[in-house]
Structure 1
Amino acid sequence: MTKRRRLSEARQTQILQAAVEVIRERGLCETRISDIADRAGTSSALVIYYFQSKDRLLGEALAFSEERFYEETARELQGITSARDQLVRLIQLSCSPGPDARQDWMDEWMLWLDLWARAPRDPDVARDRELLDRRWREAITDIVQAGQQSGEFRQVDAEDFALRLAVTIDGLAIQVVLGDPDVTTDLMEAICLRMAGTELGFDGSSGLASRQQSKGRRVSRSGRASHVAKAAGKSR
């Protein structure tokens, strides 16, 4: 890789990190390209050069954020060999962050709300949404299939289960972000664990023994951690 290319990639990463931070803080509608440029310490012209538009930048910023999610989740699941425990932990990380991570968790879901809101009116954003959601469902599918091969899970349609679990997490997260007093992150986690346990044939009421030790790590949204790592390598 040439020095110029490395510099270009470093600048793009810097801009994406700035975009994630600013869009989280202000929402897409209140974010200007100049705000992102100022945060990144660069010019608006360079931001436009790399990303063409604010909507395009939103899709890239969320993809960047999700990439970190997969990397962090793969590390989190590295020592978990049971597919059942991997799925439980993945649900916990997606649904119920510890108090130190709650704001980051809320901010990550706010990015998704912005993406979902714009997708019906922008084909490029719609494509980003489809690719990101498909990748997430494939990661769940991989864990379920590993658990079926090891005899931990029932022989259900893994892709169908992954779709329904993913949309359940999405729907409940929206209610949490909107501040519905009847829908808490703990309830969200309990519903998803109960659903998974009922359909796959394990006790969904009990989590990992390491739950309290791990709670609070910053991971927003694997039988081996390689399943998440493999999903991280798939194109968006």
Structure 2
Amino acid sequence: MARPRNQAARREQLVAAATRAVRRHGLHQVRVADIADEAGVARGSVHYYFRDLDELLRSVYQQAGERFYTARMTAAAALPDARDKLVESIEHGLPDGPDDELAVVLYEFSMVRDDPVFSALSQSLYDRQVAMYAAILEVGASQGHFTMAAPVLDVAANLVALEDAYGLHIVSRNASLPRERTLDLLLSYARIATRCEDLRRSG
């Protein structure tokens, strides 16, 4: 394979291929050969851009972090009203549906218990999401919209935990908890926790 001019683009291609391969084969069964097949390249090409399989898988996990933390924090930051910030963050914290590839793969990573690197990455993503929600809740309180029914960090932690739990039901195709139902339940909790009835679906 000729060396591409845009190495970042090739790395992104391989991360996308690794995401598909993990979903297809499972995190513990996926091999470099599976990723190379998904990308349509030779195995040596994968090793050219990533030192080993673990480095590539860490990049897959970090991509998920970009989506579920960085991207929605950026979107919420553009909204001046904390009520809109909170609804926006909740709406984008759930999988799009049972075939949401990146979300499915993220749950694969959540089952890794004996790898200190992935444990640290998982804790970091959780802590950042809690901090994101806590900041929004504090802004809402300062704007006079939220009257907290519990400590801010407790509410923020519950929001993240509920997202994780409901998201697993979504990707598991639980017919009793489709995405719209779980979104309503999350917003219901948010209304109770903030004593703000304005927190409704935007669409």
Report the TM range for the smaller structure's normalisation.
0.7 to 0.9
Deviation at 1:10, TM superposition (A): 4.2
- State the AA in 1 paired with 2:194: L
| 1:80 aligned counterpart, secondary structure | coil
Match of 2:23 in 1: 24
Match of 1:221 in 2: none
Deviation at 1:187, TM superposition (A): 1.9
- Residue-by-residue CA offset, 1:101-138 (whole Å, 9 max, x unaligned): x3553x222112211111x1211111111111112222
Query: 1:16·1:57 contact (CA, 8 Å) conserved in 2?
Result: yes
Cα distance change on mapping 1:136 and 1:50 into 2, 3 Å: farther
Deviation at 1:64, TM superposition (A): 1.6
- Residue-by-residue CA offset, 1:12-47 (whole Å, 9 max, x unaligned): 333222222332344324422122234445543453
- Residue-by-residue CA offset, 1:34-90 (whole Å, 9 max, x unaligned): 222344455434534654443443232021233145454356446532111111122
Match of 1:80 in 2: 79
Deviation at 1:159, TM superposition (A): 1.9
- Residue-by-residue CA offset, 1:128-152 (whole Å, 9 max, x unaligned): 1111111222221221121122111
Cα distance change on mapping 1:75 and 1:167 into 2, 3 Å: closer
133-142 vs 45-54, which moves further: 45-54
Query: 1:153·1:201 contact (CA, 8 Å) conserved in 2?
Result: yes
Q: Root-mean-square deviation (CA), in Å?
A: 2.8
Query: 1:83·1:146 contact (CA, 8 Å) conserved in 2?
Result: yes
Deviation at 1:202, TM superposition (A): 0.7
Match of 2:157 in 1: 163
Cα distance change on mapping 1:136 and 1:46 into 2, 3 Å: farther
- State the AA in 1 paired with 2:92: L
TM-score w.r.t. the length of structure 1 is: 0.71
Tell me the matched-pair count: 199
Separation of aligned partners in 1, 2:95 and 2:20: 21
Gaps of 5+ in 1: 212-236
- State the AA in 1 paired with 2:159: L
Query: 2:76·2:86 contact (CA, 8 Å) conserved in 1?
Result: no
Out of 171, 176, 189, the residue aligned to residue 195 of structure 1 is 189
| 2:142 aligned counterpart, secondary structure | helix
Percent of matched pairs sharing the same residue: 25
Match of 2:66 in 1: 67
| 2:176 aligned counterpart, secondary structure | coil
130-139 vs 179-188, which moves further: 179-188
Larger RCO, structure (CA 8 Å, separation 6 or more): 1
TM-score w.r.t. the length of structure 2 is: 0.81
Deviation at 1:194, TM superposition (A): 0.8
Query: 2:90·2:186 contact (CA, 8 Å) conserved in 1?
Result: yes
Structure 1 residue ranges (4+ consecutive) displaced by more than 6 angstroms after TM superposition: none
Cα distance change on mapping 1:96 and 1:27 into 2, 3 Å: closer
Separation of aligned partners in 2, 1:150 and 1:204: 14
Match of 1:114 in 2: 108
Match of 2:53 in 1: 54
